[in-house]
Chains A and B, each alone.
Chain A
Amino acid sequence: MGRYVIRRLLQMIPVFIGATFLIFVMVYALGDPVAAFFGDRAPDPATAAQIRHQYGLDKPLWHQYLDYMGNIFTGDFGTAFNGQPVTELMKSAFPVTLRLTLVAIFFEIVIGITFGVITGMRRGRPIDTSVLLMTLVVISIPVFVLGYVLQYVIAVQWGIGEPSVSPEAPLNELILPGIVLALVSLAYVTRLTRTSIAENTRADYVRTAVAKGLPRRRVILRHLLRNSLIPVITFIGTDIGGLMGGAIVTERIFNIQGVGYQLYQGILRHNSATVVGFVTILVIVFLLANLLVDLLYAVLDPRIRYA
């Protein structure tokens, strides 16, 4: 087990290099950022050249990449175009987004798995159909609309809660954004749990457990759920990165200057320092989440072993 973990951690190095290089090249491919600095005015060539020089944009791509990587190891992630160091942006963005993501995952786990278990055990019943309908709504109506409607109804019409999240982003203000962020993933988690549960209700071990006369709760939690969770855990593991980096819409609606927002701004402004910096951290989060998921496999299913 220990050796497996170490091996996996070592594998992060090539992924890290590959991902940063890929992202760096992609931002470079977006094109020259300097023209946009001047709004609707054509940049005067000398100032544009001066700005390119300041940000090292006048060097060849490989040189820029090596410079960037060299700086990363000294803790310097470069500067955003508004003059802020990227590390400063990270310091303000990641804590908020991390909290938001945890809230979203909390709802995914609690609501998603509960719904999944209920519908999986009562297939075809009204509750199953209702949950299916909710799933369809969540999939076919854009997050923007659901988020906006919830925000409007709850904060403006009912006057409970705040439409936007204040810069400090306390947990209670993140409940609504967290739910909105989790909505689509909730559909996945519910359906995955439902299917697994439905499959496993007919497995031998469940029959044995029931035959032994174990109480219903215990059978569901200990035997049924535990064996049904692998696809769900896998999904949530892949979702963490998506939630953290892809919360652009949710963050916009609730005015959160988080990772999604900073990434989006960086991309729109073709700023490789911001984009690569944020993605780098996301990749690490991602790899750790995947590792955690793989370790959970062994916990959930003792037959799976890692050497």
Chain B
Amino acid sequence: MRGSTRLKWAVCATAVALAATACGGGGSDSGGGGGASGIVSASWGDPQSPLEPANTNEVQGGKVLDMLFRGLKKYNPKTGKAENMVAASITTTDSQNFAIKLNPGWTFSDGDPVTSDSFINAWNYGALLKNAQKNASFFRFIDGYDAVHPEKEGAASTAQTLGGLKKVDDLNFTVKLGAKFSTWPDTLGYSAYDPLPKSFFSDHAAWLSKPIGNGPYTVDSYTKGQTMKMRKWAGYKGPDAAQNGGIDLRVYTDNNTAYTDLQAGNIDLVDDIPASQLKNAKSDLGDRFINQPAGIIQTVSFPLYDAKWSGPNAAKIRQGLSMAINRAQITEQIFQKTREPASDWTSPVLGEAGGFKAGLCGDACTFNPTEAKKLITEAGGLPGGQVTLTSNVDTGSHKDWSDAVCNSINNALGNDKACVFNPIGTFADFRSKVTSKQMTGMFRTGWQMDYPLIQNFLQPIYYTNASSNDSHYTNANFDKLINEANAEPDTAKAVALFQDSEKQLAIDMPAIPLWYQNGTGGYSTKISNVTLNQFSVPVYNEIKVS
């Protein structure tokens, strides 16, 4: 039987193929927990951009920069205060011209000293349009930004360097801002302002495949999309040297898998507990479950460019919708208390002194179904009889809370089709629809702070034409108060002015504050002293391995 022998041959060929590919893989150790002494294995997500400081605007890339670099300032992981790190002092007399003095002795791990040029060149690189850095806009406060990075599409740079940066000597340089901004030095802990070594400019490709910085860790090996091994840098002279031998970051495509790996003892630290496991996390991990405030607020915004939402009664409807949302119940049932009901537009991590004020929003953010129904009825009912809540569904568990918010509104209004969830497939699609003003009802907006200042929670989002003003809110009084607050050299007075501006938001309700998001995480018995900073990133250098 000719055929059957051939069939046999085919089966064998498959077996050979299996065996051959089997030989291709395997062999080396299978990673996971334990390993070299003092090494912590931690979950990671694939960074979305190359790991340049001025090009990294999301938390996964931020984690690495946090270990790899130290900037002029560093935010204290406990208090959130901006403290001098590489900077010895940053002084100003007019809130516009700043003199920066560096501490001597800082070097990059390749031996290159950290000088004024390390900062000036890095900032010029980050600002220059040609380099298309996503955080370029952070340098917009510096004088001369417009020439280096014109706003308009298609325009070319007329200068290669920021005119406001002047080197005095290797340890001193001055910065002139375009306008007064008294708390500007406190923004300098953000990774976009990190210094860069000469090798970044001389061999860019090599630097990207194995970044070099001046922080407590060095990159031992980096396999894009899979693992990054960070090791303690013995030559680090800063005050916050690593307490462990190193961190092995491993990319997880699903945080649920990372959590299962933690339970199986394959990994020591997971910094994002999946929503579906929050209920079990406490019993699975006990006090190794971390749930602490982070500088993230979730809101839903309204398209104020849409005639339906800009009418004279629309603010009343927006307030009514806000009152119809049972924040306490949703944060408890859906988020298992990993969110706190919001009652202002900032975040508890700012602290009272920093401008956080619980209850600032007043009745408008307090659940009151009867009042909600009354307000909306008085204002003539929902525009079109129905409101949609739009969100992307490819990230986070947005469907769950969106459904809950809609159900809460429906129950308050006694109409099971008053609020309808409108899912959008991809974040990219969602964002391009939002930025091109295609929203017609409520839509999800979230804000993760760049630096712990109340200014960062208000100006970028609600100031006229600001970069994240997705609802296109504009109010002269609000803008005036923000300008005054920025020019005010006294912090307490500035904070009061910012809070005044928030009261305008409570009246206009361009965005409904939903909840303050906490950072969550869990760790193995092998490590201790694990905390998250205000950006919900683990404080890696303080982790101790037993």
Instruction: Verify whether A and B have any Cβ pair under 8 Å.
Output: yes
Chain A residues close to B by CB (< 8 Å):
30-51, 54, 81-84, 88-89, 92, 95-96, 98-99, 102-103, 105-106, 148, 151-152, 155-156, 159, 162-164, 166-173, 222, 226, 251-257, 261, 265, 267-270, 296, 299-300, 302
Closest Cβ of chain B to A226, distance in Å, is: 6
- Say yes or no for B431: interface residue by CB 8 A criterion: yes
Q: Is the CB of A171 within 8 A of B428?
A: no
Can you identify 22 A-B contacts, CB atoms within 8 angstroms? Answer: A33-B428, A35-B432, A36-B431, A39-B58, A47-B136, A47-B149, A82-B47, A152-B263, A156-B263, A163-B263, A164-B261, A169-B25, A171-B26, A226-B3, A226-B4, A253-B254, A253-B257, A255-B253, A270-B428, A270-B429, A299-B3, A300-B3
Chain A residues closer than 8 Å to B429, beta-carbon distance: 30-31, 270
Chain A residues closer than 8 Å to B445, beta-carbon distance: 40
Closest A residue, CB atoms, query B208: A83
Q: Is the CB of A95 within 8 A of B21?
A: yes
Q: Is the CB of B253 within 8 A of A35?
A: no
B437-454 to A contact mask, C-beta < 8 Å, 1/0: 000000001111000000
Q: A37-B48, A45-B153, A299-B10 are in contact. List 18 more A-B contacts (CB 8 A).
A: A32-B428, A32-B432, A35-B431, A35-B434, A42-B467, A42-B468, A44-B136, A44-B467, A50-B129, A50-B130, A54-B132, A92-B225, A152-B263, A163-B261, A164-B266, A166-B31, A167-B227, A222-B4
Q: Is the CB of B30 within 8 A of A168?
A: yes
Q: Name the contact of B257 in the complex, choosing from A49, A99, A173, A252 (C-beta under 8 A).
A: A252
Q: Name the contact of A102 in the complex, choosing from B14, B137, B252, B436 (C-beta under 8 A).
A: B14
Contacting A at CB under 8 A, from B137-154, are 137, 149-154
Q: Name the contact of A82 in the complex, choosing from B4, B30, B49 (C-beta under 8 A).
A: B49
- CA distance in complex: A41, B447 (Å): 9
Interface size of B by CB at 8 A reads: 78
Q: Is the CB of A44 within 8 A of B260?
A: no
- Say yes or no for B476: interface residue by CB 8 A criterion: no
Chain A residues closer than 8 Å to B28, beta-carbon distance: 168
Chain B residues closer than 8 Å to A166, beta-carbon distance: 30-32
Chain A residues closer than 8 Å to B256, beta-carbon distance: 148, 253
Q: Is the CB of A40 within 8 A of B49?
A: no
- Say yes or no for B155: interface residue by CB 8 A criterion: yes
- Say yes or no for B470: interface residue by CB 8 A criterion: yes
Chain A residues closer than 8 Å to B136, beta-carbon distance: 44, 47
Closest A residue, CB atoms, query B18: A102
Chain B residues closer than 8 Å to A163, beta-carbon distance: 257, 260-261, 263-264, 266
- Say yes or no for B353: interface residue by CB 8 A criterion: no
Q: Is the CB of A36 within 8 A of B129?
A: no
Shortest 5 CB-CB contacts between residues of A and residues of B: A170-B26, A36-B428, A35-B432, A45-B153, A50-B132
- Say yes or no for B426: interface residue by CB 8 A criterion: yes
Chain A residues closer than 8 Å to B22, beta-carbon distance: 99, 170-171
Q: Is the CB of A41 within 8 A of B149?
A: no
Contacting A at CB under 8 A, from B264-279, are 264, 266
- CA distance in complex: A30, B394 (Å): 14
Closest Cβ of chain B to A45, distance in Å, is: 4
Q: Is the CB of B394 within 8 A of A268?
A: yes
Closest Cβ of chain A to B140, distance in Å, is: 9
Q: Is the CB of B470 within 8 A of A42?
A: yes
- CA distance in complex: A254, B258 (Å): 9
Q: Is the CB of B468 within 8 A of A47?
A: no
B260-302 to A contact mask, C-beta < 8 Å, 1/0: 1101101000000000000000000000000000000000000
Q: Is the CB of B27 within 8 A of A170?
A: yes
Q: Is the CB of B50 within 8 A of A167?
A: no
- CA distance in complex: A187, B137 (Å): 55
- Say yes or no for B163: interface residue by CB 8 A criterion: no
- Say yes or no for B134: interface residue by CB 8 A criterion: yes
- Say yes or no for B435: interface residue by CB 8 A criterion: yes
Closest A residue, CB atoms, query B260: A163
- CA distance in complex: A284, B247 (Å): 41
Contacting A at CB under 8 A, from B98-154, are 129-130, 132-134, 136-137, 149-154
Closest Cβ of chain B to A69, distance in Å, is: 24
- CA distance in complex: A88, B208 (Å): 15
Identify the interface centre among A40, A98, A256, A300: most chain B CB within 10 Å of its CB.
Answer: A40
Closest Cβ of chain B to A101, distance in Å, is: 10
Identify the interface centre among A31, A46, A95: most chain B CB within 10 Å of its CB.
Answer: A46
Closest Cβ of chain A to B1, distance in Å, is: 7
Chain B residues closer than 8 Å to A156, beta-carbon distance: 260, 263-264
Closest Cβ of chain A to B208, distance in Å, is: 7
- Say yes or no for B7: interface residue by CB 8 A criterion: yes
Q: Is the CB of A36 within 8 A of B427?
A: yes
- Say yes or no for B251: interface residue by CB 8 A criterion: yes
- CA distance in complex: A156, B10 (Å): 38
- CA distance in complex: A257, B264 (Å): 20
Closest Cβ of chain B to A241, distance in Å, is: 17
Closest A residue, CB atoms, query B61: A82
Chain A residues closer than 8 Å to B263, beta-carbon distance: 152, 156, 163
Closest Cβ of chain A to B391, distance in Å, is: 12
Chain B residues closer than 8 Å to A162, beta-carbon distance: 30, 32, 264, 266
- Say yes or no for B224: interface residue by CB 8 A criterion: yes
Chain A residues closer than 8 Å to B468, beta-carbon distance: 40-42
Chain A residues closer than 8 Å to B133, beta-carbon distance: 47
Q: Name the contact of B17 in the complex, choosing from A102, A164, A296 (C-beta under 8 A).
A: A102
- CA distance in complex: A89, B223 (Å): 11
Q: Name the contact of A159 in the complex, choosing from B226, B264, B428, B460 (C-beta under 8 A).
A: B264
Closest A residue, CB atoms, query B469: A42
Chain B residues closer than 8 Å to A106, beta-carbon distance: 14, 18
Contacting A at CB under 8 A, from B460-475, are 460, 467-470
Chain A residues closer than 8 Å to B47, beta-carbon distance: 82
Q: Is the CB of A46 within 8 A of B3?
A: no
Known: A49-B154, A299-B3. A251 touches B428 (CB 8 A): no
Q: Is the CB of A46 within 8 A of B257?
A: no
- Say yes or no for B490: interface residue by CB 8 A criterion: no
Chain B residues closer than 8 Å to A83, beta-carbon distance: 49-50, 208
Chain A residues closer than 8 Å to B460, beta-carbon distance: 41
Known: A40-B447, A102-B14, A252-B253. A257 touches B150 (CB 8 A): no
Q: Is the CB of B25 within 8 A of A99?
A: yes
Q: Is the CB of A269 within 8 A of B428?
A: yes
Contacting A at CB under 8 A, from B32-65, are 32, 46-50, 57-58
Q: Is the CB of A42 within 8 A of B25?
A: no
- Say yes or no for B385: interface residue by CB 8 A criterion: no
Q: Is the CB of B427 within 8 A of A268?
A: yes
Identify the interface centre among A98, A105, A164, A296: most chain B CB within 10 Å of its CB.
Answer: A164
- CA distance in complex: A251, B225 (Å): 14
- CA distance in complex: A112, B509 (Å): 60
Closest Cβ of chain A to B264, distance in Å, is: 5
- CA distance in complex: A40, B224 (Å): 25
- Say yes or no for B312: interface residue by CB 8 A criterion: no
Known: A41-B468, A166-B32, A167-B31. A270 touches B21 (CB 8 A): no
Q: Is the CB of A257 within 8 A of B24?
A: no
Known: A35-B432, A222-B4, A252-B253. A46 touches B151 (CB 8 A): yes
